[in-house]
C-alpha cells in the first residue's frame, strides 16, 4: 500500500474542496478556458465534510488555512465544491514537505510551498482537519457548488449533472460569466482521459455518481445501448460498480524540459500541458502558470514533447455498501 494511501476515506465519504472565489463564476457558467480551466474537472486539497459539520463559517475558513494563502480572494464567505467521493482512487493523504530533500528522505515526491504542512492536515489555526490531495479528476455526477456566508447560512448555487451536461445553476437571473453557457455543455474530448468502463461486453466513458456508483456514456461516435436513458439529449446510464466488468483510469503523459506532464489538448503546433509532478519547484523553474490553487499548466510547442504515452491504470471495483 502507498505510504500516502487515504486513511479515513471511503467511496461513501462526502468530501469538499474550498473553491477560489475568482473561479466560481467559471463553474457556474460552464466556461472552458483552453489550456487553463475546465468546469468539468477539479484538483486540489479536500477534506471530509463531517470534520467541519459543527464549525461556523469563520472557523472553517481559519482551519482550512485560507487566510494564509496569498491571492486566495475575499474571506467574508466560503465557496465549497461538495460531493460523494465515489472511490478512494484519486485521493492521497497530503504527506510531503515544502523542501525537496526532506520530501525525498520521507520517501515522498510531493513538494508544495507554504502554507502546506505535509503532515496530512490542513494548515489551520485551532482545529486540525485531515487533508487529502485530490488528483485531477472529472467531477462526480451530483456534485454541488455551495456558498457558506458570514452569518453561517449555506446556499447551493448549482449542481453538476454529468460530463455531458455540466453545471445547472439554481438561479437563472445571474450576471457575468456565471450566465455564459447554460447546460448542456459537454466536456470536449480533445484528448481522451478519465475513467473508462467495460459493461456487458461494451466500452464506455464513466464518472462516479455516489457510493460505488458510476454513470456510463457511449464512446464518441458509438451508439448507446437500448436501455440507456436520455437526458438533455444525451444517452447515459447509472449502474453499481459491481455490475462492471472492469474500470480503468486513462490519461496521456509526456515529458517536457525534464518535467512529467499530462497532455490535455493538442493542435498541430501546440500542446496544453498539466503538471503531473507534485513539485512546485519544477513549476517555478519551468515558468508554469498557477491556474488554480497548486495547479500548474502551460501551452508549449508540440514538437518539444518527448515520451508521449498512454497510461491505463486498473481501478478496483467497490461494492455497493463498501
Q: What is the pLDDT of residues 53-80, one digit of tens each?
A: 999 999 999 999 999 999 999 999 999 9
pLDDT above 50 (res 25): yes
Q: How far apart are CA 270 and CA 273, in angstroms?
A: 10
Nearby residues of 98 by Cβ (< 8 Å), 6 or more positions away: 111, 112, 113, 114, 116, 118
Which pLDDT does position 4 carry in this prediction? Answer: 87
- Residue 107, all three cell numbers: 520517501
The more confident residue out of 189 and 180 is 180
Nearest of 305, 230, 291, 303 to residue 261 by alpha carbon: 305
Interval 199-245: pLDDT, tens: 999 999 999 999 999 999 999 889 999 999 999 999 999 999 999 99
Is residue 261 within 8 Å of 255, Cβ to Cβ? yes
Q: How far apart are CA 300 and CA 269, in angstroms?
A: 9
Nearest of 245, 182, 252, 168 to residue 214 by alpha carbon: 245
Nearby residues of 40 by Cβ (< 8 Å), 6 or more positions away: 138, 139, 160, 163, 166, 187
pLDDT above 90 (res 1): no
- Residue 8, all three cell numbers: 479515513
Q: What percent of the chain has pLDDT over 70?
A: 98
Interval 279-288: pLDDT, tens: 999 999 999 9
pLDDT band at 322 (very low <50, low <70, confident <90, very high): very low
Strand 246-256 and strand 234-240: the pairing is unpaired
pLDDT above 50 (res 41): yes
Burial class of residue 17, CB neighbours in 10 A (0-12, 13-18, 19+): buried
Interval 145-157: pLDDT, tens: 999 999 999 999 9
- Average pLDDT taken over every residue of the chain: 95
pLDDT above 70 (res 319): no
Which pLDDT does position 241 carry in this prediction? Answer: 96
- Residue 146, all three cell numbers: 455551495
Q: What percent of the chain has pLDDT over 90?
A: 92
- Residue 294, all three cell numbers: 497548486
- Residue 131, all three cell numbers: 487533508
Which pLDDT does position 157 carry in this prediction? Answer: 97
Nearby residues of 318 by Cβ (< 8 Å), 6 or more positions away: 11, 87, 211, 212, 241, 242
Q: How far apart are CA 318 and CA 212, in angstroms?
A: 5
pLDDT band at 189 (very low <50, low <70, confident <90, very high): confident
Annotate 26-43 with b (16+ C-beta within 10 A) or e (fewer).
bbbbbbbeebbbbbbbbb
* pLDDT (mean) for 265-273: 96
Q: Kindly report the pTM of this predicted structure.
A: 0.94
Nearest of 99, 198, 140, 147 to residue 11 by alpha carbon: 140
Amino acid at each position: 500500500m502507498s505510504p500516502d494511501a487515504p486513511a479515513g476515506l471511503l467511496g461513501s465519504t462526502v468530501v469538499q474542496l474550498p473553491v477560489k472565489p475568482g473561479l466560481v463564476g467559471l463553474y457556474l457558467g460552464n466556461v472552458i478556458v483552453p489550456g487553463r480551466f475546465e468546469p468539468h474537472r477539479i484538483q486540489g486539497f479536500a477534506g471530509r465534510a463531517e470534520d467541519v459539520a459543527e464549525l461556523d463559517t469563520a472557523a472553517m475558513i481559519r482551519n482550512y488555512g485560507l487566510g494564509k494563502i496569498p491571492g486566495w480572494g475575499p474571506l467574508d464567505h466560503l465557496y465549497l465544491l461538495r460531493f460523494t467521493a465515489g472511490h478512494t482512487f484519486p485521493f492521497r493523504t497530503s504527506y510531503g514537505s515544502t523542501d525537496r530533500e526532506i520530501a525525498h528522505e520521507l520517501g515522498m515526491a510531493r513538494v508544495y510551498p507554504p502554507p502546506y504542512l505535509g503532515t496530512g492536515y490542513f494548515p489551520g489555526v485551532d482545529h486540525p482537519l485531515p487533508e487529502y490531495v485530490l488528483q485531477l479528476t472529472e467531477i462526480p455526477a451530483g456534485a454541488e457548488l455551495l456558498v457558506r456566508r458570514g452569518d453561517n447560512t449555506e446556499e447551493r448555487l448549482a449542481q453538476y449533472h454529468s460530463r455531458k451536461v455540466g453545471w445547472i445553476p439554481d438561479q437563472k437571473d445571474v450576471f457575468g460569466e456565471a450566465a455564459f453557457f447554460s447546460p448542456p455543455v459537454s466536456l470536449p474530448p480533445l484528448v481522451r482521459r478519465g475513467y473508462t468502463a467495460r459493461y456487458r461486453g461494451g466500452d464506455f466513458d464513466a464518472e462516479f455518481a455516489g457510493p460505488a456508483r458510476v454513470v456510463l456514456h457511449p464512446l464518441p461516435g458509438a451508439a448507446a445501448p437500448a436501455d440507456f436513458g436520455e437526458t438533455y439529449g444525451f444517452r447515459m446510464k447509472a449502474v453499481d460498480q459491481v455490475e462492471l466488468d472492469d474500470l480503468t483510469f486513462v490519461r496521456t503523459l509526456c515529458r517536457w524540459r525534464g518535467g512529467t506532464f499530462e497532455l490535455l489538448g493538442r493542435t498541430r503546433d501546440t500542446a496544453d500541458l498539466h503538471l503531473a509532478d507534485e513539485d512546485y519547484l519544477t513549476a517555478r523553474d519551468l515558468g508554469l502558470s498557477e491556474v488554480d490553487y497548486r495547479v500548474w499548466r502551460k501551452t508549449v510547442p508540440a514538437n518539444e514533447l518527448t515520451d508521449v504515452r498512454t497510461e491505463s491504470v486498473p481501478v478496483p471495483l467497490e461494492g455497493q455498501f463498501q
